[in-house]
């Protein structure tokens, strides 16, 4: 455990999702060990640690647990992009998850203080479903929604982060920016680039498959631009959120 002051931790799956936050850090220091890359520093006057754990449920679980083990953390906020499951969610909207669940139906609730701060910063209240695979087609999204009615968007990491926070009795919140609408079709081969049993997306394989499908390249580039834009929005919200979180540990951790 780190001997420094308790920090607010922010974790994401992809380097693009964290880059704007890292750029905003004062007195930043980088560390990398195992599969976790982290930066400590000051954000809006608040000590934070920003960690990239990797994508997919397995990497998310390991990375978040490692981050919480190495640092004295008073709260954990997970950020990144998500695919919409309901037509009312549009690309670019920010969802603060009141509850996260996985496909088994297990559900974990967000910390009330963190959730209130995110809503005050401009997020909308919703629920997130974590799956071990990428939902690339509108048909897959409809099936996921039918199995878990009431959930607004899907990702591959939030439930794993929430479980890691619960294990250490750390308050948790997930904030996601919608990258693709419920009726949007992503390139079908993306789903085949996800590792088995909750592994992350193999970027090298995506690149190889894209080279043989030139028509998919514009959609991939557009998706990347959305991720970059989403990261900027998420960084702005996190800056507002950290100012609202009490300096002491909150009493209500993830249940």
Identify the pLDDT of residue 13: 94
Identify the pLDDT of residue 120: 94
Q: Half-sphere exposure of 167 toward its Cβ, with a 13 Å CA cutoff?
A: 14
Is 63's pLDDT higher than 70?
Answer: yes
Q: Which DSSP state fits 157?
A: S
pLDDT grade for 4, boundaries at 50, 70 and 90: low
- The predicted model scores a pTM of 0.90
Is 115's pLDDT higher than 60?
Answer: yes
Identify the pLDDT of residue 192: 86
Identify the pLDDT of residue 197: 65
Identify the pLDDT of residue 202: 87
pLDDT, mean of residues 43-67: 93
In 130-250, where does DSSP find H-type helix? 138-147, 158-167, 203-211, 217-244
pLDDT, mean of residues 164-187: 96
Identify the pLDDT of residue 246: 64
Going along the chain from its start, the domains and CATH numbers come out as 7-244 (3.40.50.1580)
Cβ proximity of 118 and 243 under 8 Å: no
Is 189's pLDDT higher than 50?
Answer: yes
pLDDT grade for 198, boundaries at 50, 70 and 90: low
Strand 153-155 versus strand 73-84 pairing type = antiparallel
Structure tokens at 99: 């509850």
Percent of the chain with pLDDT over 90: 73
Poorest-pLDDT segment among 21-25, 225-229, 248-252: 248-252
Burial pattern 207-232, b for ≥16 Cβ within 10 A else e, equals: eebbeeeeebeebbeebeebeebbbe
Residue-wise pLDDT for 7-51, tens only, equals 999 999 999 999 999 999 999 999 988 778 899 999 999 999 999
Q: Which DSSP state fits 248?
A: S
Poorest-pLDDT segment among 78-92, 181-195, 237-251: 237-251
Percent of the chain with pLDDT over 70: 94
Those residues whose C-beta lies under 8 Å from the C-beta of residue 39, and which sit 6 or more positions away, are: 22, 25, 28, 29, 30, 31, 49, 50, 51
Phi, psi for 100 (deg, rounded to 5): -125, 145
pLDDT, mean of residues 126-150: 91
Mean pLDDT for all residues in the chain: 90
């Amino acid at each position: 455990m780190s001997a420094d002051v308790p920090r607010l931790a922010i974790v994401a799956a992809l380097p693009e999702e964290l880059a704007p936050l890292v750029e905003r850090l004062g007195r930043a220091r980088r560390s990398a060990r195992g599969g976790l890359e982290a930066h400590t520093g000051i954000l809006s006057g608040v000590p934070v640690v920003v960690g990239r754990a990797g994508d997919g449920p397995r990497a998310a679980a390991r990375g978040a647990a490692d981050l919480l083990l190495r640092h004295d953390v008073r709260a954990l906020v997970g950020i990144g992009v998500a695919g919409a499951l309901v037509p009312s969610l549009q690309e670019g909207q920010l969802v603060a998850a009141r509850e996260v669940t996985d496909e088994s139906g297990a559900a974990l609730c967000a910390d009330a203080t963190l959730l209130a701060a995110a809503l005050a910063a401009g997020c909308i209240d919703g629920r997130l479903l974590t799956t071990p695979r990428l939902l690339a087609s509108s048909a897959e999204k409809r099936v996921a929604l039918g199995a878990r009615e009431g959930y607004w968007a899907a990702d591959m990491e939030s439930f794993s982060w929430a479980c890691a926070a619960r294990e250490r009795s750390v308050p948790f919140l997930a904030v996601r920016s919608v990258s693709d609408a419920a009726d949007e079709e992503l390139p079908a081969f993306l789903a085949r680039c996800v590792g088995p049993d909750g592994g992350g997306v193999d970027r090298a394989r995506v690149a190889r498959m894209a080279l043989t499908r030139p028509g998919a390249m514009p959609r991939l580039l557009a998706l990347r631009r959305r991720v970059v834009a989403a990261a900027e929005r998420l960084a702005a919200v996190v800056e507002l959120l950290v100012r609202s979180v009490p300096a002491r540990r909150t009493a209500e951790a993830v249940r």
